Chains A and B, each alone.
Chain A
Amino acid sequence: MAKTKISLKLLKNKAQKEMLQAKDLKDLDIVFKKYLGDEGEVTLVLRSLKKLPKTKKAKIGKEANELKNFLKIKFAEAAAALKEKAQKEAELKEWFDITVPGEKVAFGHLHPLTLVQRKCEEIFQFMGFSIIEGPEMEEEWYNFDALNIPKNHPARDLWDTFYLKNGLLLRTHTSPVQIRYMEKNQPPLRIIAPGRVFRHEATDSSHEVNFYQVEGLMIGRDISVANFKAIIQEFFRRFFSKDVEIRLRPSYFPFVEPGFEIDIKWGDQWMEIMGAGMVHPNVLKNAGLNPSDWQGFAFGMGLDRLAMIKYKVDDVRLFYSGDLRFLNQF
């Protein structure tokens, strides 16, 4: 019987050794079957007990059962270790760095003034305004006279004008579009007119020889200052995506009466942003409308200025620099 005892001890050592040599779960399974499977060596020992006398049976049986349980635990441990190892390896294989920068897409860039103009157009279109354009080379009549700015009037000095040798001038504001539109269209009407305008000025960080304006005009039977306040407050709210405080203060433009300047509150500062007023009866007359039938408001604002505020640009000249280091940021 000593032989069986020895063989159990040998079996234990052998099984443990082979267990450790197993490289993966599949190997381990083979080893498991070899010892604890249906035809496994330990199983066979246990099966052979039947043939032994009672006393021996009890003693060896106990030892063999202990070995079986011991090996089971060890196998389970080995399996767990191998599983963990396999998982680690798999993870290593799948390791992936999401912090590598994305591949550059060759997308282009729209000019900031295009973006701002689009935004204005969108907001006013929501409020029922049509978008109208006019020529950049303009006649004196439309740029000045029709807007109640007669020749030799000191008010003309407010607009430093480029005159052309072909007898025309470069429009100094988008207001001529008001006249051109009213000549051809009957009120009630609601338009905005975005476009390029020109001033004969020395350039600096806030002045350019050409820049952009948006003109607005709303004419009806009883359009009032109160209506203007509502439309323009809504515009700024949508443009800056937040409530913006506005104020009207008296100003003078020959083509409106009353006339005002619009300031918006930006931080704790009031910032001048737009000229506006109720369309002057002479302007309505010059455009062929009867001022006793129609009234309304008009306004004009600088798109460059809006873009400067929106994008925190401190020099208007950057817009016309063609510098891709600037333009590629939009």
Chain B
Amino acid sequence: MIFSYNWLQSFFTRKLPKPEKLAELLTMHSFEVGEVKKAGSDWTLDIDVLPNRAGDCFSHFGIAREIAAIINSKFEIRNSKQIINSKLQTKDFVSVDVRAKQACLRYTAKVITDVKVGPSPKWLKDKLEVCGLNSINNVVDAANYVMLETGQPMHAFDLEKLEDQKIIVRFAKEDEKITTLDNQVFNLNPAILVIADVKKPVAIAGIKGGTSPEISEATKTIVLESANFDPTITRRASKELNLKTDASLRFEHGIDPNLSEIAIDRAAEIISRVAGGQIASGLVDFYSKKVLPKRIKLDLDYLKSLLGIEISAAEVKVILNSLGFKIIGVRLPLLVEIPTFRLDISLQEDLIEEVGRIYGYDKIPVVFPLASLIPPVRNDNLFWTSIVKDIFRGVGFTEIYNYSFQKEAGEVEVENPQSLEYRYLRPSLIPNLLKNVEKNSVNFKKIKIFELGKVFEDKTEKRMLTGMLVGEDFYRLKGVIDSLFNKLGIVKVWYDDYQASPEDSPKSLWHHKKSAEIKVRDIELGFLGELKDKPNIVAFDLDFDKLTALASEEHEYRQISKYPATIRDLAVLVPALTRVEEVLNVIETAGGSILKDVDLFDIYEGEGIGDGKKNLAFHFVYQAEDRTLTSIEVYKIHQKIIEALEENPEWEVRR
């Protein structure tokens, strides 16, 4: 909000710090000040008033009070005297009927007769202009001026245009309409509070006036309104009508009802000054429940404990007094009376903040806490997250962070999506990773990416570990996944044929042959393989929570055999549709514990071995823990394996 430096200065007899310096002081003690700009002979300060302080600081009064506390100086509101015509009584001119009592805490009205509506004097125009408001006429300008000064929005009606000279505060009826001062037509409804005469709404309460009782050059008698409307009702109406005004902004944050009267007197005085006229005496005042100041106890020991610095009772009193608080009595804990304009203060902690910020947070020392030496608890999820990410980095993958949203339908739909691209929460990391592959393939031939992130299903969320490879094949990726399990200490991993249930298969992302389900015992961990219709991409998709549940740091060292190993090669010719696993099973069963390792190093299909056949070539490593194997022993066991393989009539060991 824009504030005028000269206007703020006008409340002080002493010279204020220079605009830049003042901005810095306000930033450190009250509110952040943005731009400081020269505006003719004045300066503007763009002050970011905190939302809980709108009630008192969306006004030059409020900011001046802050400044007074910060620079420890007196600030004065100088009211010139109202010249009231005691023969005229406001209540004889106008009556007010507040029907929506919950929505309108207070309604004050005052009448000024014989005004001369016309342009505003230069000083008034200038002040409004500096603060970004347009000049309308002297009456409206005076009302706006008082709003900028006190924070109380006001409205002026032409009394003669009000039917029966009656003001009714009520909710709108279904299908009622109003044309506002800027000639917009709004359809109203019973959730919207209006000011009406006996026939029709004349203003949207707390938001904007209507055209019908508008102040014009012909206006002679005006009714000033200074009221207090419920913040929530104002806020809802403003949202619903999509109509934000200087008035609605103030009402929706809440205003002190006691301000209504102060502001209306001030406005009447200024109107009579700039537009002439007679101020009728008295006030039509609907005020159902007068707001009285609260009292809060302030324990200085607690203040010291919370801020971490001792501030003397004398200093505390000076600070609180300068902000408009009253200290009642002399006993400790201090009893503090909260002025009604401080809607934000309701607890002792609120007062401690007031003292702390004016005293200066920069004066609080830097002190390490004294705490028991309780070591932090290890977060297992993060521990494994870190290990898994390092493994993937180690084998050349780049980590991706994608949006949690996607365009493609998922189970969880966003009520208010930011755009159609982000309509659903991702049920899988795959769709967004596919987009990454697509985008990056312009620049990269080989792509290795992974993401560890949350996916969403109904009301649950879980972590998935998903990755994609371009430019490598299924077996290469399977090797990566095998190493991952190995590093995580997960054993008994097996790859099951991918079996999509009939209802799943059309939706499935996986190639129905070139993909496998990864299992540990009977736990389904995820999938691995080619994606459907994406022959150049292989992917994996693992349930990370299941993975970490299985992961183990337990690892036992195995004695390195002191005895030499013997290596033998062997090739088996098998039908092309034979699975390697079947062959391996036969080899391992026959080989027993002496067969330390089997390594498939080649699969050959094609010329020279006959159609429908393939050649599997293995390295065997024979080794015993307790002796050097003799060549006869190795020969015997190797023969045993060959015989076992050849029990299958379709398999032929090539020697």
Binding site for B on A (CB under 8 A): 106-111, 113-114, 118, 121, 125, 128-133, 135-137, 152, 154-155, 158, 162-168, 170, 188, 190, 196, 198, 200-203, 209-210, 218, 220, 222-227, 229-231, 233-234, 247-252, 254, 257-261, 278, 280-281, 295, 319-320, 322-325, 327-328
Contacts and interface: CB of A to CB of B under 8 A. Distances in A.
Contacts of A209: 403, 405, 418, 422
- The majority secondary structure among interface residues of chain A is mixed
Contacts of B390: 110
Contact of B369 (A196, A230, A278): A230
Interface of B: 27-32, 50-53, 231-232, 235, 252-253, 305-309, 347, 349-350, 352-353, 356-357, 361-362, 364-369, 371-377, 379, 381-382, 386, 389-390, 392-405, 412-418, 422, 425, 432-433, 435-436, 439-440, 443-444, 447-449, 453-454, 456, 458-459, 461
A154 B393 contact: no
A114 B389 contact: yes
Given A209-B422, A233-B366, A324 B447 contact: yes
Contact of B459 (A137, A163, A325): A137
Contact of A319 (B252, B398, B401): B401
A224 B382 CA distance: 30
B253 to A, nearest CB: 6
Nearest to B432: A322
A227 B371 CA distance: 11
Contacts of A158: 51
A283 to B, nearest CB: 11
A241 B50 CA distance: 33
Contact of A128 (B375, B379, B395, B432): B375
The 5 closest A-B pairs by CB, nearest first: A226-B308, A224-B308, A258-B353, A322-B436, A106-B396
B448 to A, nearest CB: 7
B394 A107 contact: yes
A223 B369 contact: yes
Contacts of B373: 128
Contacts of A125: 376
A259 B371 CA distance: 23
B415 A165 contact: yes
Contacts of B440: 322-324
A110 B399 contact: yes
Contacts of B30: 250
Contact of A131 (B349, B376, B400, B439): B376
A162 B416 contact: yes
6 contacts: A135-B461, A202-B418, A258-B353, A322-B401, A322-B440, A325-B443
Given A229-B364, A319-B401, A129 B443 contact: no
Given A209-B405, A223-B369, A327 B400 contact: yes
A107 B397 CA distance: 7
Given A128-B375, A165-B414, A250 B29 contact: yes
A323 B577 CA distance: 41
B400 A250 contact: no
B67 to A, nearest CB: 14
Contacts of A136: 404, 454, 456, 461
A218 B454 CA distance: 27
A209 B405 CA distance: 9
Given A108-B448, A170-B425, A225-B307, 18 more contacts: A111-B399, A158-B51, A162-B414, A163-B415, A164-B412, A203-B418, A209-B422, A220-B369, A224-B308, A230-B368, A247-B361, A248-B362, A250-B29, A250-B357, A258-B307, A278-B349, A295-B306, A322-B433
B379 A132 contact: yes
B443 to A, nearest CB: 6
Contacts of A110: 389-390, 393, 399
Nearest to A139: B459
Contacts of B350: 257
Contacts of B347: 257, 281
B306 A137 contact: no
B434 to A, nearest CB: 10
Nearest to A118: B386
A295 B425 CA distance: 37
B53 A249 contact: no
A51 B362 CA distance: 113
B443 A322 contact: no
A190 B374 CA distance: 9
Nearest to B414: A162
B418 A200 contact: yes
A260 B361 CA distance: 9
B578 to A, nearest CB: 33
Contacts of B381: 133
Given A226-B367, A227-B308, A128 B398 contact: no
Interface centre among B369, B393, B396, B448 (most CB of A within 10 A): B369
Contacts of B435: 322
B349 A224 contact: no
B361 to A, nearest CB: 4
A252 B375 contact: no
A131 B377 CA distance: 7
Contact of A226 (B231, B309, B401): B309
A108 B394 contact: yes
A266 to B, nearest CB: 16
Given A166-B412, A168-B459, A250-B353, A224 B307 contact: yes
A152 B306 CA distance: 30
Contacts of A254: 52
A27 B481 CA distance: 65
Contacts of A222: 305
Contacts of B425: 137, 164, 170
Nearest to B28: A249
Interface centre among A222, A225, A247 (most CB of B within 10 A): A225
B416 A163 contact: yes
Contact of A111 (B357, B401, B404): B401
Contact of B399 (A114, A128, A137): A114
A168 B460 CA distance: 10
Contact of A252 (B51, B306, B436): B51
Contacts of A328: 398
A154 B235 contact: yes
B306 A224 contact: yes
Nearest to A151: B232
Contacts of A202: 418
A81 B232 CA distance: 103
A324 B399 CA distance: 9
Given A196-B454, A220-B371, A278-B306, A109 B364 contact: no
